């Protein structure tokens, strides 16, 4: 039996995104307003971290808690100082970073710290860090006192374009990633590019994968811009990076505005499209015990899932090769030599997107035009993962 496909029309999807995302620009600061079923979220692209304190104060917060890790503690202290200077009591709480700390034990510890700090329902949680801090702090904010307000201050490129946008929060179980969590939209996101300056290149490139993914699923124009400016991207040339990040944020925010909670029924702006590269990617992370980092895993996953799309007659080989060239030009891996293919596939079978025991994947039918494929044959997936394990073609 052939897998079933639900295609999102490219023009329809982009049109809906543009209708739901409003962008303004003042000096070097760009503001993206995203609308969910619950409230409006303001994303400040090119702001400064201290603005988080001002936003919390403007929300009439009773208190604030800045959740960080050791690497982002100095940034959290800057927010604390700005909050205190503005008359807002702010407590800094540091948690351990890393996927291995996205656990219920970490959640319980933060609950206790929030209680000790005297947070009430009018408090605001400020998540200061990368994806792990944002995912965990966001989940704790969603559950503490049945929900307190949340501001994200992402400090990695990956968090800026992905985990801070869209309201997905969660922690891991032994069986897989993010199996416990909630959809919980932040009230604001502050993207300060200066936080990237101290990050090593291998950390920064994790965000390139999600930017490339956004282009693959929604914007041939962004894809071409990345092809033309790959060297400038790798060099973190400010004008190019900021414009590309803004476009990636707009793409994701637009999809979220149409499908906040990942509808089970694919449509023109399905949130499931954002999972391109993530089916194999999450399997790689789990099978490697997270030695393969998220952005690298998604990049490898996109290469493998393009191979599956070609096998199924959904994607032209030339487009698959173009996508793989772009990933390579951004310094991203497109294979995972030595990985155990069966372990990757077994991990994929626990994916939350799967329905009725079959693999469900977001695959490209062309650059900028995604498709949801239900019932991807297990043997096709395994064959492509085995290619990745052998180092690609």
Residue 262 annotated to the active site: yes
Tokens representing residue 63 in the block: 């208190």
Whole-number Å distance between alpha carbons of 153 and 163: 11
- Grouping H, G, I as helix, E, B as strand and the rest as coil, residue 331 is coil
Residue 387 annotated to the active site: no
Secondary element (H or E) of residue 286: helix 278-287
Residue 22 annotated to the active site: no
Neighbours of 44 (CB within 10 A): 20
Return the closest-CA partner of residue 203 out of 275, 129, 307: 129
State the SS3 of 79-140: HHHHHHHCCCCEEEEECCCCHHHCCHHHHHHHHHHHHHCCCCCCCEEEEEECHHHHHHHHHH
Residue 252 annotated to the active site: yes
Whole-number Å distance between alpha carbons of 283 and 21: 32
Q: How far is CA 246 from CA 4, 193, 203, 242, 260, in A?
A: 34, 12, 19, 6, 20
Q: How far is CA 279 from CA 33, 121, 284, in A?
A: 29, 37, 9
Catalytic residue among 262, 305, 324, 384: 262
Tokens representing residue 47 in the block: 């702001």
Catalytic residue among 177, 271, 293, 353: 271
Catalytic residue among 63, 78, 177, 252: 252
Return the closest-CA partner of residue 71 out of 196, 184, 257: 196
Whole-number Å distance between alpha carbons of 153 and 49: 7
Q: Hunting for tokens 């503690």 — which residue is that?
A: 73
Q: In angstroms, what is the C-alpha Rg of the chain?
A: 20
Secondary element (H or E) of residue 125: strand 124-129
Catalytic residue among 50, 80, 99, 210: 210
Catalytic residue among 78, 152, 275, 285: 275
Catalytic residue among 282, 286, 293, 353: 282
Catalytic residue among 149, 152, 168, 353: 168
Residue 278 annotated to the active site: yes
Residue 349 annotated to the active site: no
Catalytic residue among 63, 205, 267, 294: 294
In this structure, are residues 282 and 173 in contact, taking their beta carbons and an 8 Å threshold?
no
* Residue 197 DSSP class: T
**243: Cα separation from own chain's centroid:** 18
In this structure, are residues 90 and 65 in contact, taking their beta carbons and an 8 Å threshold?
yes
Residue 187 annotated to the active site: no
Whole-number Å distance between alpha carbons of 160 and 247: 12
Residue 33 annotated to the active site: no
Residue 35 annotated to the active site: no
Residues in the chain: 393
Residue 294 annotated to the active site: yes
In this structure, are residues 203 and 348 in contact, taking their beta carbons and an 8 Å threshold?
no
Catalytic residues: 146, 168, 210, 252, 262, 271, 275, 278, 282, 294
């Amino acid at each position: 039996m052939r897998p079933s496909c639900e295609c999102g029309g490219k023009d329809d999807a982009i049109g809906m995104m543009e209708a739901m995302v409003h962008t303004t620009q003042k000096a070097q600061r760009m503001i993206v307003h995203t609308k969910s079923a619950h409230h409006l979220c303001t994303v400040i692209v090119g702001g400064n971290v201290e603005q988080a304190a001002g936003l919390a104060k403007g929300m009439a917060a009773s208190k604030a808690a800045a959740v960080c890790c050791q690497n982002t503690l100095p940034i959290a202290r800057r927010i604390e100082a700005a909050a205190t200077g503005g008359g807002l009591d702010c407590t800094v709480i540091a948690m351990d970073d890393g996927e291995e700390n996205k656990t219920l034990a970490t959640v319980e510890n933060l609950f206790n710290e929030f209680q000790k700090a005297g947070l009430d329902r009018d408090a605001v949680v400020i998540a200061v860090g990368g994806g792990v801090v944002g995912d965990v702090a966001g989940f704790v904010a969603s559950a503490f006192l049945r929900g307190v307000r949340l501001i994200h201050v992402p400090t990695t490129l990956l968090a800026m374009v992905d985990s801070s946008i869209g309201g997905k929060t969660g922690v891991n179980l032994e069986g897989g990633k993010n199996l416990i969590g909630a959809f919980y939209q932040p009230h604001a996101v502050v993207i300060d590019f200066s936080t990237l300056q101290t990050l090593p290149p291998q950390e920064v490139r994790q965000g390139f994968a999600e930017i490339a993914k956004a282009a693959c699923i929604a914007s041939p124009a962004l894809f071409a811009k990345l092809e033309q400016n790959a060297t400038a991207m790798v060099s973190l040339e400010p004008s190019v990076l900021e414009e590309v990040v803004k476009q990636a944020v707009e793409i994701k925010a637009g999809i979220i505005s149409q499908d906040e909670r990942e509808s089970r029924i694919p449509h023109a702006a399905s949130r499931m499209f954002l999972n391109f590269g993530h089916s194999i990617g999450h399997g790689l992370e789990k099978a490697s015990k997270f030695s393969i980092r998220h952005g690298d895993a998604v990049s490898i996953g996109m290469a493998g899932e393009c191979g599956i799309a070609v096998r199924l007659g959904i994607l032209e080989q030339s487009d698959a090769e173009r996508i793989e060239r772009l990933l390579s030009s951004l310094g991203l891996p497109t294979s995972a030599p030595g990985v155990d293919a069966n372990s990757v596939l077994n991990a994929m079978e626990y994916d939350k997107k799967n329905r009725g025991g079959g693999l469900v994947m977001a695959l490209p039918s062309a650059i900028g035009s995604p498709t949801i494929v239900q019932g991807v044959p297990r043997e096709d997936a395994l064959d492509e993962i085995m290619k990745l394990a052998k180092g690609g073609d």
